[in-house]
Structure 1
C-alpha cells in the first residue's frame, strides 16, 4: 500500500489540477514555441477526487527537504570528525610540551610560557566552538525525527482511511490521463514536427526546455549511470516501445523494455534482458536500433552488438580507437553510438588524432566501419555528442544549469563550424544524450531522471530544394 501511495505522490508532483488540454495562441503558459510565436502546451490535470493527493505532494516535498537537511548535517559530521582529530593532535602536543616544562622549568623563558598559555586558550576556544556546532546539529536531528514521525503517522492514517479499491480507482484515473497526455503529445508532434524523417533543413536552431518524465524504474537517484529512449529503427509492432538501463556505476549488465510510454511511467516492463556475464559492457553511450543493443565492450576493447530477436552477440575491434579519451564528465565513454535519419554511427578518439573526435559510419549488416571523418574538436572538452542527418553536434557545459551545442561537422560536405544553441539541464550531471529520428527528440539520462527535448530545425526553401526526405 505504501508503494502505491508513493506512486501517487510522484504522479501528483509532476501534474497540476483540472483536465488535459492542447493550448494554442500567444499564451504565457509554459510550453513550446511554434511557427509565428504561437505556443502549444500539453498540461495534465488530475480530476477532482476524494483521495488527498495534495497531502501526498506536501509529504513528498517534506521528504525532499529532510533528505537535503540530512545530507548537510552528514557533511558537517565529517567536518567535526576532521576537527576533532586535529584538536586531539594539538592537545597531545601541548601535553608533551607542558611535561617537558615541568621537568625543566629553568630551561624556558617567560615568553615561552606565555606562548604555551596562548595555545591552550586557542584550543579551549576551538573546543567550545565545536561543542556549540555539535549541539546545533543535535537540535536539527531532533527536529527531523519529529517531522519523520509525523509523516509516518500521516501515511498510517491514509492507509486506514482509504481502502485499496479507492486507490485502484485513482490509479485508473491516472492511466486514463496518461493516455490523454499521449494523444496531446501526438498532436504536438504533428503541429511542430511535420517533417519527421526529412533532412530538408540546415540544422538545429532551438531546443525546448527539459521535459522530465520521472525518476528511473528503480526510483533511486543513486542510479546515475545509464540511458533511456526509443528504438531508432523499430521493428514492426514495436514502434511505441521504450527502453531503459541504469546502474550505480558505469556498467552495462541488463536492459528493460516497455510496450509504450504509459508502461514506462508505471514501471511495467514486459521484457528484462540480463546480459551474459562474459558480455558485460561499460560506458553509457549505448542505444537500441533495429531491436539490437549497441554498446562498448572491454574484453577485447571493441564495439559490441546484441540482437534481441536472435539473442546473438558479436563484436568488432576498431584498431585505432583509444581508451585514453572520454567525455568531460563521464569516465569510460570511449565509444559513443548514435543513430539518425541516415543510419548508424559511432564516434571515438585516437592517439593518432591526439584525442580529437573521429566520426565513423557503421555498415549495419556487416557491423563494420564504412568510412571515417576527422574533426578538430577535442573529446575531453566535450560533454556529449549526437548525430542528426549526417551532421555531428558536439555539446559542452556552460554552467551548472546550461549546456551548449557549440560545434557541428557535416559528413556530406566535410565542413565544420562553431555555433551556439543553448539548452537547460534538469540536474547537474548526465551520462547519455542521443537523438532519435523517429520523433526528432533528444533523450537525456540526467542524474537518474528520464529527460527529453524537442528540437527545432531551420527549414529553408534552399534546404528543401537541396535535401531529399530520408527515413532509414
Structure 2
C-alpha cells in the first residue's frame, strides 16, 4: 500500500524536473454567477432622484393658493352682486357695478383656467410618478436577486427577529406599572400635522422688534389662565423685562396688563435675557443667561433669578446657532422648550461634535438638570426645535414661505426619525423662536417681528410609523 503511494510521487517529481520552467502563470476564471448590473443600479438611483425633484410640497402649495384665491374671488363676487340687487339709482351706478362684476367674472374665468391647467399638470405628474415608482420597484426586485450571499435577506430576517425579541421583552417587563408616565407618552398620539397660521399680529410695537418670543404659560397661576406673555429683544438681541397681556385681544391691540416686569436694571448686564429662545412655565421665565453657558430662571413672584450651569464644553455666545444656507440666527445656542412634562433645554457641546443635545430642566429653585440625551442631527443644519409629549422636533428652512419639521427624537425609545415631513406655512421668512404649549396644543412662533400661532394636530397614523 505504501509503495503504490510513493511511486506516483516520484513519477511526478521526475516529470517536474523534465518540464521547462514557465515565466508566468495564468488562471482563467469562469464565474457561475452573472456580474452585478451597476448600470441598472445607477439608472434606478437616477429615477429616484428625478421623483424627488419633481414631486415637491411646493406643488401642493401652488394648488392650495389657487383654490384660496378662487374662494376669495367668489366671495367678493357674491358681495358685489348683492349690492347691485339693492341699488335703485336710475341705472346710473348699476351700469358701473355691472362693469365691475364683468371684470371680476373675467378674472375668475382666468383663475379657473389656470386652476384647471395646474390640476391637469398635477394629474399627469401623478400618473408619471406612479409609473416610475412601479418600474423602480420592479428593477429593485431584480437587483435584489444578485445578492447571492443573501446579505439583504439576512438583514431583513435579523430586523424581524429583533422586532419580535423587543415585543417579547416588553411583554415580560410590562408587569410593573411605572410611577409616572414616560416622557414620550401622549394620550392624543404623535404629531401628525401643523395647520395655520392662526394668529398673525405685530401687536403694539408695529415691527420695531424683529427678534423675540411669546406664548402662554402651560402651568399658570389661578386667574391668569388666559394671560399671554411676550419678550421683545433689542437689535443686539437682549432683553431685561417680560411683558404681559390679560387676553389675546389685549395683546393684538396692544393693551398691556400689568405691563413690564423688569428682570435686570439695564441691558445687557447680569441676569439679562440673551437670545430669543425663552419660555414661561409655572410663573417662571427660563432663558439663556447673559454671557454664560447656563439656564436662568426668573421667579415672577419673588422677582429673583437663579441659574444652573450646563455641561462643560457647551457652546454659547453665538458660537453654535440655528442656521440655514442663507443666514444664522444670532444667540440661539440655547433653546428652551416646554411640553406636557415641563421644561427642556436644547444645545450642543464640543464633545457632541456640534450635534443636538437635549436635557430635562427640573422645576426647582435654583433649577437643576435631569436626564440628558444625545442626537445625531447637526445643530447648525436646524432652524428651530420644540418639544411635544417628550419628543424633540427639529425644523429646517425650505424657502421664504415654508418651513419643514423634518426630524424627531423620542426620549422614551431613543428612536430618531429623519422623515417626519410636516410643513409649516410661514408669514415671514425667518422663525426666530418656536414653542409648543400642551394646554391648547398650539405652537407659538416669533417671525420677523410678527407673533404667529399654529395648531398642532396629533393622532395615530400608519404614515407616521412607516
TM-score (norm 1): 0.54
**Contact in 1 for aligned 2:359/2:369 (Cα 8 Å):** yes
Per the TM alignment, residue 319 of structure 1 is displaced from its structure 2 partner at its CA by 2.6
**Contact in 2 for aligned 1:198/1:341 (Cα 8 Å):** no
**Contact in 2 for aligned 1:291/1:309 (Cα 8 Å):** yes
Q: Are 2:382 and 1:382 equivalent residues in the alignment? A: yes
Superposition CA RMSD, Å: 2.1
Secondary structure of the corresponding residue to residue 406 of structure 1: strand
Secondary structure of the corresponding residue to residue 394 of structure 2: strand
**Contact in 2 for aligned 1:212/1:449 (Cα 8 Å):** no
- Listed as ranges, the matches of 1:286-435 within 5 Å are 286-320=278-312, 321-323=314-316, 324-328=319-323, 329-366=328-365, 367-418=367-418, 419-435=420-436
- Listed as ranges, the matches of 1:448-463 within 5 Å are 448-459=449-460
Give 4+ residue runs of structure 1 displaced > 4 Å after superposition: none
Alignment deviations for residues 319-352 of structure 1 (CA, whole Å, 9 cap, x no partner) = 3321221101311111111110112111100000
Larger radius of gyration: 2
Q: In 2, Cα distance between the equivalents of 1:247 and 1:307? A: 20
**Contact in 1 for aligned 2:281/2:342 (Cα 8 Å):** no
Q: In 1, Cα distance between the equivalents of 2:395 and 2:461? A: 24
Q: In 2, Cα distance between the equivalents of 1:413 and 1:201? A: 18
Q: Are 2:277 and 1:285 equivalent residues in the alignment? A: yes
**Contact in 1 for aligned 2:359/2:372 (Cα 8 Å):** yes
Q: In 1, Cα distance between the equivalents of 2:196 and 2:256? A: 28
**Contact in 2 for aligned 1:224/1:430 (Cα 8 Å):** no
**Contact in 1 for aligned 2:194/2:456 (Cα 8 Å):** yes
Per the TM alignment, residue 449 of structure 1 is displaced from its structure 2 partner at its CA by 0.9
**Contact in 2 for aligned 1:338/1:434 (Cα 8 Å):** yes
Q: 1:267 aligns with which of 231, 234, 254?
A: 254
Q: In 1, Cα distance between the equivalents of 2:303 and 2:234? A: 26
**Contact in 1 for aligned 2:203/2:251 (Cα 8 Å):** no
Q: 2:205 aligns with which of 218, 242, 246?
A: 218
Q: In 2, Cα distance between the equivalents of 1:303 and 1:334? A: 11
- Listed as ranges, the matches of 1:7-26 within 5 Å are none
Shift in CA distance, 432/347, structure 1 to aligned 2, threshold 3 Å: same
**Contact in 1 for aligned 2:216/2:437 (Cα 8 Å):** yes
Alignment deviations for residues 39-88 of structure 1 (CA, whole Å, 9 cap, x no partner) = xxxxxxxxxxxxxxxxxxxxxxxxxxxxxxxxxxxxxxxxxxxxxxxxxx
Per the TM alignment, residue 422 of structure 1 is displaced from its structure 2 partner at its CA by 1.1
- Listed as ranges, the matches of 1:177-192 within 5 Å are none
Q: 1:209 aligns with which of 196, 208, 213?
A: 196
Structure 2 unpaired stretches of 5+ = 1-66, 70-183
The worse-fitting range, judged by mean Cα deviation, of 424-433 and 370-379 is: 424-433
Q: In 2, Cα distance between the equivalents of 1:356 and 1:421? A: 22
Per the TM alignment, residue 266 of structure 1 is displaced from its structure 2 partner at its CA by 2.1
Per the TM alignment, residue 372 of structure 1 is displaced from its structure 2 partner at its CA by 0.2
Per the TM alignment, residue 209 of structure 1 is displaced from its structure 2 partner at its CA by 2.4
Q: What's the counterpart of residue 63 of structure 2?
A: none
Q: In 1, Cα distance between the equivalents of 2:229 and 2:204? A: 11
Greater fraction strand: 1
Per the TM alignment, residue 317 of structure 1 is displaced from its structure 2 partner at its CA by 1.1
Q: In 2, Cα distance between the equivalents of 1:417 and 1:300? A: 32
Secondary structure of the corresponding residue to residue 284 of structure 1: coil
How many residues are treated as equivalent by the alignment?
A: 268
**Contact in 2 for aligned 1:387/1:435 (Cα 8 Å):** yes
**Contact in 2 for aligned 1:201/1:460 (Cα 8 Å):** no
**Contact in 1 for aligned 2:345/2:360 (Cα 8 Å):** yes
Per the TM alignment, residue 427 of structure 1 is displaced from its structure 2 partner at its CA by 0.6
Per the TM alignment, residue 29 of structure 1 is displaced from its structure 2 partner at its CA by 7.5
Structure 1 unpaired stretches of 5+ = 1-27, 31-196, 464-472
Alignment deviations for residues 410-467 of structure 1 (CA, whole Å, 9 cap, x no partner) = 0001111112111111111121100011100100011111100011112469x9xxxx
TM-score (norm 2): 0.55
**Contact in 2 for aligned 1:216/1:448 (Cα 8 Å):** no
Alignment deviations for residues 237-284 of structure 1 (CA, whole Å, 9 cap, x no partner) = 111000112133211221110111121122111121122133212111
Q: In 1, Cα distance between the equivalents of 2:227 and 2:200? A: 15
Q: What's the counterpart of residue 234 of structure 2?
A: 248
**Contact in 1 for aligned 2:394/2:407 (Cα 8 Å):** yes
**Contact in 2 for aligned 1:200/1:459 (Cα 8 Å):** no
Q: In 1, Cα distance between the equivalents of 2:410 and 2:390? A: 6
